[in-house]
Structures are given as C-alpha cells and as structure tokens.
Amino acid sequence: AQSVAQPEDQVNVAEGNPLTVKCTYSVSGNPYLFWYVQYPNRGLQFLLKYITGDNLVKGSYGFEAEFNKSQTSFHLKKPSALVSDSALYFCAVRFNTGNQFYFGTGTSLTVIP
C-alpha cells in the first residue's frame, strides 16, 4: 500500500540550531515528494518538492530536503532554526501514475528562543 510516515509528532529545537523533520514513504512506483507547512488557522503552504534530478532540493524560507531512494526517505532540514519556523509540517507523496496526494500525519515543530 502507498503511504507516507512522519515518525515524530513533535520536534523541539533551540533557535539557531539545525533542525530535521523526518519523512519516510512506501511506494511501488516513482514518487513525487513534497513538504508543506501549516501555520495556525491557515491552509497548507508549499515549501519544496522533489520530482527528479538532484537529490537535494532547496525550497522556501531556507528549507531543504534530501531524497534518499535506498532509505525511502525525504527528510526536511534547515541549518539554523528561527522561532518563526514553529508550525505544523506535512510530508506528502504523489505518484506519477495519478493525481492524489498522500499526506503524513504531520510534525509539530517548536523552535525555542
């Protein structure tokens, strides 16, 4: 079955430290992978995507993610966290055979001043 997992419900990191939000997927084809961010009472905002090519993709607000095919992972990273990065982060996978997205359960990131 196609699925995406975010193993951590909550991630806390000190301001200025690097952050990682984990995502793994289970797929039987070639996935398109995405990260979205949700601020309180707002819709999901697109951060970055991996379609093909370079495994390291850079996105909005200084975020980046690395596609690792052997580990079926697509972890979100940022070298130096800001308090304003505190939000809910969703990993999503879409398969090249269809339009439907599968979302992870979300990871709440708190950056501590």
CA distance 107 to 9: 5
5 phi, psi to nearest 5 deg: -125, 135
Of 76, 106, 107, 111, which one interacts with another protein (CB under 8 A)?
106
We find the least distance from the C-beta atom of residue 101 to another protein, in angstroms, to be: 6
14 phi, psi to nearest 5 deg: -80, 145
Site string (35-54) toward another protein, x via CB under 8 A: -x----xxxxxx--x-x---
User: Interface with another protein by CB under 8 A: which residues?
Assistant: 32, 34, 36, 41-46, 49, 51, 90, 92, 94, 98-106
